[in-house]
Structures are given as C-alpha cells and as structure tokens.
C-alpha cells in the first residue's frame, strides 16, 4: 500500500479524520476546515484546493469511513509503520522554498505582524493572535499595490517623455535663437564697419577734392603774383638802363616806360572744409560716444553678467533677436524743467476713434466707435494713434503725459511712419522709424523695430516724463516718483514727433510746462 494515497494534500501527513467533499477529493477534517475558514475571512470563494471546484453554499463535511479504516490499518501495517511522510520525500508540485523548514508543511498563511509566510502549524502555535491571511489574498493585495505603482511609474514615464520632448524642442529653439543672435550681432558689426568704411572713403575723397581745389586756386593766385613781380623787375631794369642813355635818347625812351597795372589778388586760402563737414563731425562725435562709452559699457555689463551669474540666474533662451535699446537704471531726474516744452496733438493725424479736447492737449479713445472725420494723408486710418504738431531736429526737450489707465504706447517717430496699413507696423515702436514705451497693468516694455525688451519698474504708471536729447541720441523715460525707467540710444537722423497709441477707453493728456 502506497502511503502517498493515504496522505492529505494540505498537510502532507496521513489523514487524520478524513472527509470527502462533493467533488470527490479527500482531506483531513481540520485541514480543510481551517483552509476554508481562512478563505471565508478573506472574502474569497469556497474552492477545492485540488480541482478548484466552487461550492456555494459551503458543503457539510462528513467523515470518509472507508478511508478512515484504511488509514488506521496502514498505521498498524508492518510495511508502512515508520514510513517517511510524503512531505519529507519531496513533492514536485511544491518548491522547496515554499515549505516550512521546521514543520515541513506548505507556507500557505501570511502573517502581517511578522511580514512572512508560515505554515498552518506555525499560524496556530506562534501567530495565533497575529493578523493572518492566505498567501493568495496577500498576493492579490500586493498585486493591486504593484498595479498602482506601475500606473504611477507609467505616469512618471509619460511626464518624463514629455519633459524630454519639451527640453529637446527648447534646445532646438535655443540653437536657433543663439544662431540668430550671433548672426544679427555679426551682421550689425559688419554693416557698421562697412558703413563706416564706405563713408570714410567718400569723405576722404571729398576732402581730397576740396584740398586739391583750394590748393589749385591758391597756386593760381601765387602764379599771378609771381608773374606781376617778374614784370615789375623787368620794368625796374628798363628804368635802370635809361639812366645811362644820353639826354635826347633818355627823353625819347622814357616815354615808353609803363608801370604794370596793379590788380587785387586774394591772399587767403579757402580752408572752410571744417565748416562743410560740421554735420559729419557732429555725427562722428555721437557715434564715437556710442561706441567708446555706451557700447563698451553694454559689452562689459553683458560679459560681466555672463561670468558672474550662476546657472540659476539664467533665464530661458527665446527665439528672438536682441533689441538695440540700452536700459537705464533708476535715478532721480534733475534740472528737467529747463527743457520743458509745450505740445499739442495734431488733429490731422488722429485716428477716427480718438477725440481731441482741451485745446488739442487731451486725446481720448471713445468706446462708442469711430467718429466721422475727413480723409487726410497724415491720418492713421486703422491704428489708434495720434502725433503731435511739434517736431524736433536738435536740442533737448522734455514733456510729460498723464494716462488714465495703463494701456498705451508713448514714444517718438519720424515723419515717414506708415499710416494706412492694416498691420502693427503703423504702431509707434513696431517699425525702424519709431521708439516707444508700452504701459501695461503687468509689465512695462520698450519697443523698437518690432522688438520688445522688458523694463524693470512698477507697471502701474500714470504720469510719464520723456526727455529727448537729439544730439546725444537718447530718449529717456521717467515714471511716477521721478524715477528714471528706461533710455533708448540711437543716432537720430530725421525730425522726431511725439506719438501716442491709445487703448480703448483710455485718455492721454499732455501736461503743460
């Protein structure tokens, strides 16, 4: 008789009170009872541990009398007495690591207090008051936890992939921006060098022509005087020769002596070249200041910031070219009243949405819509903009404006600013002909040629002062509390007119001196 046929598959020992369940499989009464009790505590279905047949309701256990007799007989049989239990011989279906080393029984219970798997005997003797569940229940719980962690990992992977994609795009944009910036700066330097070289050549050629002309004229005058001197010397010699002649011959020959007529000849040499080049030397002085002082300061500032700034201080690189404007640091304005000028708006330029009042010193953007206005070549047809009558070609000029709320662009422009296009190029600061400061509730911005540069300062500004120094090539903005906000630097070449772009429902007033 094989002892394996008389052993319980749960405890691997000989049947102790064998009971047979409805599917035909037999187990020890205590083993199957404890197995099903554990399943019930975990809210799991009642199954056969061998064939997994479901039972609902839970079957009533009845003793298998025949198998009990066989078990008792085998226990007294000389051939099987002292036989080694099946569990000790090994079981192909149960790996060695899944068997309790002390009791040689399957590890089917998980003790949560001790965080380990135990057999039924350990569960009863050592983990009696601990929180216990079936290994299958603990596995399901752990699988749910791993599933949740897998979802978190997947979410992190998606976020990481998105970050990789975004950073890759930003790197590509940074490469484009850095290349554009490098090309723009190199092109500006090359253009500046070319312009200076060309203008130097044309100026040198003009100076050489002027020099040759002046010296040729002076040489001609010198030749005239030298010819006269020669004739005078000849006349003097003729007179000396007459002194040695006899009286009669002397008298006759003396009548033939004539003194050359004296003609006025200019003794000055035209050297007014400096006066003719006054405009050129003035521009050269301003350009020299920009290059030797402002550009040197800007480069030193940029290089110093790059060397001293930490990586945390670096801002993201955007795909834009740099602005030619140079920022000015806050400072108290002094002595500006001497340059204060009176301005009035030019109604010929005012957009139909803007209404002028107070002697053309106040412009308001009507919320009711455009007014009927006569057509004029100077009028801004589509842009909410107006220029001042007064324009400047030299000197220092200061004026102030009050803005009802921060939605406006304040600046200066050349006469040739576009006025009829349906684009932003008509706005002051959005083209190469104008410069402006944008007032916004969140940020102040400087604009030139459509390029924007953020301005450090309180955005809620209601009174703005502007100082134009034409010869120095600067346009400086002052805010509330007399703080210097910003300064443009440029070699101005045409007549400049104050300009205002006014947002809807906003009014701008020119303050009197």
Name the H helices within 243-375.
247-254, 273-276, 278-289, 296-308
pLDDT of residue 161: 94
Instruction: Please write the tens of the pLDDT for every residue from 296-310.
Output: 777 877 776 554 443
Domain extent for 81: 3-138
Between these two residues, 151 and 66, which has the higher pLDDT value? 151
pLDDT of residue 89: 36
Q: Which of 53-67, 160-174, 437-451 has the lowest mean pLDDT?
A: 53-67
Q: Mark whether 396 and 456 lie in a shared domain.
A: yes
Which pLDDT band holds residue 264 (cuts at 50, 70, 90)?
A: confident
In a domain, 462, yes or no: yes
Q: Mark whether 393 and 445 lie in a shared domain.
A: yes
The CATH number covering residue 102 comes to: 3.30.40.10
Sign, CA dihedral 392-448-466-370, equals positive
Q: Mark whether 357 and 396 lie in a shared domain.
A: yes
Among 111, 138, 165, residue at a domain's last position: 138
In a domain, 327, yes or no: no
Instruction: Please write the tens of the pLDDT for every residue from 129-148.
Output: 899 888 888 999 999 999 99
Q: What is the number of structural domains in the chain?
A: 3
Q: Which of 241-255, 320-334, 340-354, 370-384 has the lowest mean pLDDT?
A: 320-334
- Per-residue pLDDT, averaged over 272-294, amounts to 77
Whether 399 shows a pLDDT value over 80: the answer reads: yes
Q: Mark whether 25 and 167 lie in a shared domain.
A: no
Q: Which of 194-208, 211-225, 252-266, 449-463 has the lowest mean pLDDT?
A: 252-266
- Per-residue pLDDT, averaged over 111-119, amounts to 92
Among 103, 138, 173, residue at a domain's last position: 138
In a domain, 360, yes or no: yes
CB-CB contact of 349 with 379 (8 Å) = yes
- Per-residue pLDDT, averaged over 268-275, amounts to 74
> pLDDT above 70 covers what percent of the chain?
88
Between these two residues, 284 and 212, which has the higher pLDDT value? 212
Sign, CA dihedral 403-406-407-413, equals positive
pLDDT of residue 93: 42
In a domain, 46, yes or no: yes
Q: Find all residues with CB under 8 Å of 259, minimum gap 6, and list them.
A: 235
- Cα-flanking dihedrals φ and ψ of residue 493, to 5°? -130, -10
Report for 88-97, 131-140, 253-262: range of highest mean pLDDT: 131-140
- Per-residue pLDDT, averaged over 371-387, amounts to 96
Q: Mark whether 91 and 159 lie in a shared domain.
A: no
Q: Mark whether 229 and 168 lie in a shared domain.
A: yes
Among 95, 110, 138, residue at a domain's last position: 138
Report for 54-63, 213-222, 243-252, 494-503: range of highest mean pLDDT: 494-503
CB-CB contact of 35 with 49 (8 Å) = yes
In a domain, 326, yes or no: no
pLDDT of residue 305: 55
The CATH number covering residue 480 comes to: 2.60.120.920
Supply 503's token pair. Answer: 């947002």
In a domain, 148, yes or no: no
CB-CB contact of 350 with 338 (8 Å) = no
Which pLDDT band holds residue 75 (cuts at 50, 70, 90)?
A: low
In a domain, 147, yes or no: no
Which pLDDT band holds residue 76 (cuts at 50, 70, 90)?
A: low
Whether 313 shows a pLDDT value over 70: the answer reads: no
**317-328 core/surface letters (b: 16 or more CB in 10 A; e: else):** eeeebebbbbbb
Alpha carbons 450 and 353: distance in angstroms, whole number? 24
Whether 389 shows a pLDDT value over 90: the answer reads: yes
Between these two residues, 81 and 396, which has the higher pLDDT value? 396
Q: Mark whether 160 and 258 lie in a shared domain.
A: yes
Alpha carbons 411 and 477: distance in angstroms, whole number? 9
Report for 16-25, 125-134, 429-438: range of highest mean pLDDT: 429-438
pTM: 0.41
Q: Mark whether 32 and 75 lie in a shared domain.
A: yes
In a domain, 314, yes or no: no
pLDDT of residue 5: 67
Alpha carbons 67 and 73: distance in angstroms, whole number? 10
Q: What is the mean pLDDT of the chain?
A: 84
Instruction: Please write the tens of the pLDDT for every residue from 332-371.
Output: 445 788 899 999 999 999 999 999 999 999 999 999 999 9
Q: Mark whether 198 and 285 lie in a shared domain.
A: yes
Q: Mark whether 297 and 367 lie in a shared domain.
A: no
Q: Mark whether 183 and 69 lie in a shared domain.
A: no
pLDDT of residue 295: 78
- Best CA proximity match to 258, nearest among 236, 241, 240: 236
Q: Mark whether 276 and 395 lie in a shared domain.
A: no
Which pLDDT band holds residue 12 (cuts at 50, 70, 90)?
A: confident
CB-CB contact of 513 with 341 (8 Å) = yes
Instruction: Please write the tens of the pLDDT for every residue from 470-492.
Output: 998 999 999 986 789 999 998 89
CB-CB contact of 384 with 354 (8 Å) = yes
pLDDT of residue 81: 47
Whether 438 shows a pLDDT value over 90: the answer reads: yes
């Amino acid at each position: 008789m094989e002892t394996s046929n008389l052993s319980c598959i749960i405890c691997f020992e000989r049947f102790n009170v064998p009971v047979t369940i409805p599917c035909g499989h037999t187990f020890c009464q205590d083993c199957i009872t404890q197995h099903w009790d554990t399943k019930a505590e975990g809210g799991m279905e009642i199954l056969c541990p061998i064939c997994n047949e479901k039972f609902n309701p839970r079957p009533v256990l009845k003793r298998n009398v025949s198998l009990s007799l066989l078990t008792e007989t085998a226990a007294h049989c000389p051939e099987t007495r002292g036989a080694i239990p099946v569990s000790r011989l090994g079981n192909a279906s149960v790996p060695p690591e899944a068997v309790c080393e002390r009791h040689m029984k399957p590890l089917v219970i998980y003790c949560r207090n001790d965080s380990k798997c135990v057999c039924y005997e350990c569960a009863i003797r050592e983990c009696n008051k601990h929180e216990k569940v079936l290994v299958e229940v603990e596995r399901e719980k752990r699988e749910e936890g791993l599933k949740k962690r897998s979802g978190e990992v997947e979410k992190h992977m998606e976020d990481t992939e998105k970050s990789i994609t975004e950073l890759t795009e930003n790197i590509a944009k940074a490469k484009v921006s850095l290349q554009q910036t490098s090309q723009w700066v190199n092109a500006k330097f090359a253009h500046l060098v070319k312009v200076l070289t060309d203008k130097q050549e044309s100026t040198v050629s003009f100076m050489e022509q002027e020099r040759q002309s002046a010296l040729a004229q002076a040489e001609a005058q010198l030749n005239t005087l030298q010819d006269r001197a020669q004739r005078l010397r000849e006349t003097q010699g003729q007179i000396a020769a007459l002194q040695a002649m006899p009286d009669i011959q002397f008298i006759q020959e003396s009548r033939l002596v004539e003194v050359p007529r004296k003609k006025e000849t200019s003794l000055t040499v035209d050297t007014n070249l400096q006066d003719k080049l006054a405009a050129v030397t003035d521009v050269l002085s301003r350009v020299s200041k920009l290059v030797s002082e402002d550009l040197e300061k800007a480069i030193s500032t940029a290089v110093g910031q790059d060397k001293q700034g930490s990586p945390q201080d670096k801002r993201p690189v955007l795909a834009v070219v740099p602005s030619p404007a140079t920022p000015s640091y806050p400072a108290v304005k002094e002595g500006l009243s001497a340059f204060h000028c009176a301005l009035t708006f030019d109604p010929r330029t005012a957009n139909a949405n803007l209404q002028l009042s107070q002697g053309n010193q106040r412009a308001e953007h009507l919320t009711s819509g455009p007014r009927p206005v006569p057509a004029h070549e100077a009028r801004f047809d589509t842009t909410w903009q107006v220029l001042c009558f007064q324009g400047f070609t030299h000197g220092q000029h200061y004026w102030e404006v009050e803005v009802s709320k921060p939605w406006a662009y304040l600046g200066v422009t050349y006469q040739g600013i576009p006025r009829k296009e349906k684009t932003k190029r008509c706005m002051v600061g959005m083209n190469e002909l104008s410069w402006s400061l944008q007032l916004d509730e969140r940020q102040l911005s400087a604009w030139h040629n459509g390029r924007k540069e953020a301005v450090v300062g309180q955005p809620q500004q209601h009174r703005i002062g502007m100082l134009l120094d034409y010869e120095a090539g600067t346009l400086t903005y002052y805010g509330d509390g007399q703080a210097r906000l910003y300064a443009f630097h440029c070699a101005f070449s045409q007549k400049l007119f104050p300009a205002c772009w006014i947002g809807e429902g906003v009014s701008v007033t020119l303050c009197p001196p």
